[in-house]
Structure 1
Amino acid sequence: METASTSPFKLRHKDKAEDRYRIGATVAFIVVIIGIGVPMWWHTTTVYRVDLPSSDILSLSERPIKTAVQVAIFTQQPSRGQLLISELQSAFSDSEIWAVEFKQLSPTERTVQEAHTPAALEKLLLKEYPQSMGDFMFIEWPKLQEELLLTTERSALMRSDTSSNKIAQLLHAKILQTYRINQILSTDDRMGIKSEAPQPTYEVIVSVLNPKPRLTHAQWNIALAVKTYIEPWLAQVSGVSNYTVRTQWKYRVAIEAEVKQVRDQSRLGRHYALQESALPHLLTSIAQNLSASTTDKPAINLVVYIPPCHTAPLHIYNSKDQLLTRNGVDAFISPPWGGFIIANPPERVCLAAINDEPPVPYHVSTTDNMQVMLDQLHKLLDISSELHIDGVKVVDIEQLEPRRWEYEAYLRRSAIRHISTASSTLQSLIKLLDQISYIVIDDEVGAAITNSYTDILAAKAALLEHRLGDASALAKRAFVASERGFFDASLLAQLYFPDEQKYAIYIPLFLPIMVPVLSSFNMLRGVLQARRKQKSA
């Protein structure tokens, strides 16, 4: 009887074949998990971030904003002009924000023979010596009453005894507006409240409020008045912001403010007092009745209120019961909301109403109200310069557009404010992105930040190279790009999905998978050790 037996050699050969398959399967499993799965997981969970010039942006504050300005001085005696320029150069030599170049203009045969009036001399000089945007010129005229007379152009007339200190004072206070620039550039909160940077677009809403249209038949083509006065004026100041204008009539909108009757010597025998302290409540009561803008543009409201005859005429009083009516106008502004004008009906209209006579139609004065609105826009847009200097007189505006030197000071100030605001916005954004590593920075946000940084540098260079128009456009573009980058919605995509939550989600997912991986490592180590022992035996 034969007995079946298995050869030890065959068993060892079979064990080696099985070990080879087990090792191959284990290695393949480890390669798939660690070589493919982990990199894929790492790539899909990595936050996408565009490279940014972070260090350069953070160092923007180390590069000061300096503006070049050219000031020409015309005197009858060249020696006096040289002395003034020497003293003015010393006064501005230590300035950190101004690079003022003083240029002397000497009298010529033409200026002596043809310039018989200050206006003729100014016109001749401005024609012979063309000016760039932001330049200024002082013209000496011996018989001038004031020390300095500011014109509506880029010039000022000065008396023969005007000192360099007075000229420097005018340059700092009116032309360059150094105190406002210092407020913009200062990081000290004690310098005062800083106004916001001008927005790229505004919507100007002109509203006429007539609470009692059946009793007060006020007639006014407000659309034509706005088209004649407001729109051309806004077109002249559109270098910083763009404006869209719309008009509306509002009826049955009463002001929610307490008024007090005051006896007087008029034909009506009384008028009504509106306290200055009640003006904020008045604006609150009518703001909700004004139709809101359908766009996201900031709005400037210009309101003309026609009080009904039972509370007319209506005048504004201060806390000391002093009448605040100026030149027959009762108006006030509330930046940045807008302006308010009280257009009282004529006496004859209210006399007819008191005597129960039929309502008397009348026309609202376009000239009076539009002039007040233009003055309010000057102040609301921060164009006008209200600072008073002893010995300095400013020529009244006779044209529709603002004074040239005043508007160019506004351009310069807006450019510096846009540069400063854009720089602060970018630096805040870079610091935020460095602190929170899981905020996504996509290509659009990265392009906005980079473009803003590039335009800031270009705007600074344009200011220093005496190119005010280019600097204003570049600074505005830098400001818009910085705002777009800072408030982009994509920055919030993973803001509420930090690394801690990521680990909390992925650890329960990957831990069961890693257990067999670790077991396979242990099995592979055991097989390799067994083979090593066999070889050594």
Structure 2
Amino acid sequence: LTNKITNAANAGDEKESGYRVYSILSYFFILVIVGLPVWWYTTRVYRANLPISEMYEVELKNKSNKAFGIPLSLDYDILITFVHPDPSGIEIELNGEDIDKNMQPFLKAISPIADFVVKSQWLYLTDLGINPRKMSDHFALQESQLPHIISPLETKMWSHLSQRPTINLVLYFSYCSTPLYIYSDRNIKIPTNAFLSPRWGGIYIVNPDKSSCETKQFK
């Protein structure tokens, strides 16, 4: 009788040991096969695919045909700033349709890869903050002076109020009494009378014609 009880107990222990093995294996299966993929999927960092190659193709070129890239982003602020240092001397009237027409080639170039918000502002009684060189009938800005124009202007602009990268397009209307032209380091007048700054934008200097200065109205 004692042997039968002992054998029954041993059989029960072996059966219970088998259950333990199966329990451990099933727990391991659930943990590794099911739990690990679920943990990996729920804790992974989502990374969206960006059209980097297309974004690099959006470039601005300066007069020497060197590529100047703009900050990489999926959305931009395009800030058009009109700088009028002498509002009492001449009245500036601009046609919005003409501005839109001139902007379209640039906007079409970046619209496939980024969203943009076009903003505008006027700055009155604002100078460039540098002293141009006096010529016979006008004033000259040397290329070496151009980088020093941006910092004084930027302190008065709205570009720092947005979290999006800003592309600055500045139109500066010079005084009627002091036409202003950009000269290269070789002392040659630049035909476009404009310049670009990498990752910032560009500035175009507009000199009102003689008749506009006489009528004190520039259109």
Could you state the TM-score of these two structures normalised by the residue count of structure 1?
0.27
Task: Write the distance in 2 (CA, Å) between the matches of 1:243 and 1:304.
Answer: 20
Q: Which 4+ residue blocks in structure 1 deviate beyond 4 angstroms?
A: 193-197
Residue from 69, 79, 88 that aligns with 1:214: 88
Task: Write the distance in 1 (CA, Å) between the matches of 2:151 and 2:89.
Answer: 25
Deviations for 1:34-81, whole angstroms, at most 9, x for unmatched residues?
xxxxxxxxxxxxxxxx648xxxxxxxxxxxxxx9xxxxxxxxxxxxxx
Task: Write the distance in 2 (CA, Å) between the matches of 1:308 and 1:293.
Answer: 28
Q: Which residue of 1 is the match for residue 126 of structure 2?
A: 253
The amino acid across from 1:256 in the alignment is G
How do residues 438-449 of structure 1 correspond to structure 2 at under 5 angstroms?
Answer: none
- Conserved? CA contact 2:71–2:199, under 8 Å: no
Deviations for 1:155-212, whole angstroms, at most 9, x for unmatched residues?
xxxxxxxxxxxxxxxxxxxxxx9xxxxxxxxxxxxxxx99577311111011111111
Task: Write the distance in 1 (CA, Å) between the matches of 2:209 and 2:71.
Answer: 41
TM-aligned CA deviation for residue 260 of structure 1: 1.5
The alignment status of 1:295 with 2:136, answered yes or no, reads: no
- Conserved? CA contact 2:172–2:203, under 8 Å: yes
TM-aligned CA deviation for residue 272 of structure 1: 0.8
The amino acid across from 1:252 in the alignment is L
Greater Rg over alpha carbons, structure:
1
Task: Write the distance in 2 (CA, Å) between the matches of 1:230 and 1:349.
Answer: 24
Task: Write the distance in 2 (CA, Å) between the matches of 1:240 and 1:226.
Answer: 23
TM-aligned CA deviation for residue 249 of structure 1: 1.8
Residue from 302, 323, 339 that aligns with 2:189: 323
Q: 3-state DSSP class of the match of 1:311?
A: coil
Task: Write the distance in 1 (CA, Å) between the matches of 2:71 and 2:210.
Answer: 44
Equivalent residue pairs, number: 159
Task: Write the distance in 2 (CA, Å) between the matches of 1:196 and 1:340.
Answer: 15
- Conserved? CA contact 1:198–1:241, under 8 Å: no
Task: Write the distance in 2 (CA, Å) between the matches of 1:197 and 1:284.
Answer: 18
Inter-CA distance 284–227: structure 2 relative to 1 (3 Å threshold): same
Residue from 138, 146, 149 that aligns with 1:282: 149
Task: Write the distance in 2 (CA, Å) between the matches of 1:234 and 1:276.
Answer: 28
Task: Write the distance in 1 (CA, Å) between the matches of 2:124 and 2:200.
Answer: 21
Judging by fraction of residues, say which structure has more strand: 2
Q: Which residue of 1 is the match for residue 116 of structure 2?
A: 243
- Conserved? CA contact 1:231–1:245, under 8 Å: no
Inter-CA distance 228–261: structure 2 relative to 1 (3 Å threshold): same
TM-aligned CA deviation for residue 251 of structure 1: 0.9
Q: Structure 2: where are the runs of 5+ without partners?
A: 1-38, 42-52, 58-66
The alignment status of 1:348 with 2:204, answered yes or no, reads: no
TM-aligned CA deviation for residue 233 of structure 1: 4.7
The amino acid across from 1:300 in the alignment is I
Deviations for 1:6-34, whole angstroms, at most 9, x for unmatched residues?
xxxxxxxxxxxxxxxxxxxxxxxxxxxxx
Q: 3-state DSSP class of the match of 1:310?
A: coil
Query: Cα RMSD (Å) of the superposition?
Result: 2.9
TM-aligned CA deviation for residue 235 of structure 1: 3.9
Q: 3-state DSSP class of the match of 1:250?
A: strand
Q: 3-state DSSP class of the match of 1:341?
A: strand
TM-aligned CA deviation for residue 247 of structure 1: 1.6
Q: 3-state DSSP class of the match of 1:309?
A: coil
Deviations for 1:259-285, whole angstroms, at most 9, x for unmatched residues?
12211xxxxxx0111111110111111
Could you state the TM-score of these two structures normalised by the residue count of structure 2?
0.63
Judging by fraction of residues, say which structure has more helix: 1
Q: Structure 1: where are the runs of 5+ without partners?
A: 1-49, 53-66, 68-176, 178-192, 264-269, 353-358, 364-537
